[in-house]
Amino acid sequence: MTAESIPLSARFQIGIAFLFIIATWIWHQRSSARLPPGPNPIPIIGNTALPKDTLSSFKSWADQYGDIMTLRILGKNLIILNSRKAADELLERRSSSTYARPVYTMAHKIVGMEHFPSQTSDPDKHRTHRRMFATALSPRASEVYWPTEMLEVRKAVRDMLNGPDNYAAAIQRALASIALKIAYGYDIDNEDDGLIKKIQRMMRILVEVQIPGRFLVDVIPALNYLPTWIPGMKFKRDGEVWAAQIREVEQIPFDRVKQDRAAGIAKPSLVSTLLDQSWAVDEENGIKVVAGAIYNAGADTTTAAIHNFLAAMVMFPDVQEKAQRELDAIIGRGRPPTMEDRAHLPYCSAVVLETLRWRPVIPAGIPHVFVRDEEFMGYLIPKGSVTLANLWAMSRNAAEYPDPEIFKPERFLEADKHGAENVEKNRFVFGFGRRVCPGIQLADSSLFAAVVSILWTCNISRPSSGSAKPQEMRFGTTLRIHRPNPFPIHITSRFLGAAEQIRDTIHD
């Protein structure tokens, strides 16, 4: 391809981008004297070209640079917090300085994600959203949904036994059903495929628009002010279409709940409960985005956690056997376990905690941004710096978690002198400060329901024809949602009558 063959609009964008990056790089070169250390940036582009195995690099950098380090991404500071000490100080104790989220033009301004509960930097909106979430997701309120979680997980177990090759689809359906029932009172089994497909399309859009460097407008926000008819503005036309599709997915189920309420046939749901309460007249949009977040922020991450759990059971069969022995001793084989059994199942509860520690689903958390200058450990972190909590490195701190690559639930048992302390420390996987995940109770209980239902009913192993060894299990290596690559699995009923008992508890 010659320079003449590149469209004029593209050459213009490339030229502007190059000048912008050079100017930003020069400015940062003059203002970075007291930043934390970090790997040497390449002139102009900085550390933008992250290694392919980003997770391993984040761990080795943490070992090299200590509690805090700096990366330069296209002229901007990215402050990485490698230890719980640094994260606790800057994201917990100084949360008034770090509560905000960075703004990316494509995702937030064009597609509209700035209104999402997990993304907004408006403190008033954030407080309102948290109060709305508490209506359904506080520790006490979330107990109402235990039967729903257990029912949908048991359906997944039934489907996994009927077709082990489709275990991923069964898990995805279960978590989607839990989220939609809680948010809207929907029974996914009775839904037409149209809405489900639109939701799945929305999830793909949200992943696409948050890929770093995917859109030039995130480097040069001024491009957003150009009209859509100009050549080279396809990104903006696409973004406006995607924004409309996301609004549609939020609006359709919300309107249906309102219609069902008017007809007197609405099922219990978060939306219905919030509509009954005395929120401000202009808070309907807040209700819509909070309900949508239960699906778009929760279902996919919990699905990934269950996949990580299944991978652990394949790789560490001794853990599976210990958990099953506990289930047999406490529950027996005359009925499936319930949520109420949790207090009597310490090992299974530890399996849940170790799943979250062993493979943090969001390895670097969700980014925060500094709203004012802060000093820490002798370094000056300037206002506007983006920061990430390196959960991957924290989960692999051998001083706190000996043999961190080994799946070892015992590290969370009270019999271990560090067990109780580790249980509390493990909360870091759900975030820090004002931005800690509001769905922590729901994620925890859904994962527990999956662990005990699967292990009570099933034996999990590799197919006998498989040649791969446990250590050859492959996982994602980027900072996106962390889960194993697709892998074959052999699922059988653990004892005579187990599958039938699970089916008998399901009332479709």
Q: Is 215 exposed, middle or buried (0-12, 13-18, 19+ CB in 10 A)?
A: buried
Alpha-carbon gap, residue 239 to 208, rounded angstroms? 11
- Residue 123 CB coordination number (10 Å): 13
Alpha-carbon gap, residue 202 to 205, rounded angstroms? 5
Q: How far apart, in Å, are the Cα atoms of 490 and each of 152, 311, 460? A: 21, 12, 6
- Which residues, other chains included, contact 163 with Cβ-Cβ below 8 Å and sequence gap of 6+? 170
Q: Are 106 and 214 in contact (CB under 8 A)?
A: yes
What is the torsional sign of CA 334, 336, 339, 344? Answer: positive
**Chain mean position to CA 278:** 31
Alpha-carbon gap, residue 111 to 103, rounded angstroms? 12
- Residue 220 CB coordination number (10 Å): 17
Assign residue 394 a region (left: φ > 0; alpha: ψ between -120 and 50; beta: otherwise).
alpha
Read off φ and ψ for residue 483, nearest 5 degrees.
Answer: -160, 165
Q: In this structure, what token pair is assigned to residue 182?
A: 């809680």
Alpha-carbon gap, residue 195 to 474, rounded angstroms? 33
Q: What is the CA radius of gyration of the chain?
A: 24
Q: In this structure, what token pair is assigned to residue 433?
A: 């400060």
Asked whether residue 437 is marked as a ligand-binding residue, the answer is: yes
- Which residues, other chains included, contact 360 with Cβ-Cβ below 8 Å and sequence gap of 6+? 391, 392, 395, 429, 482
Residues making up the binding site = 437
Residues comprising the binding site for heme?
A: 437
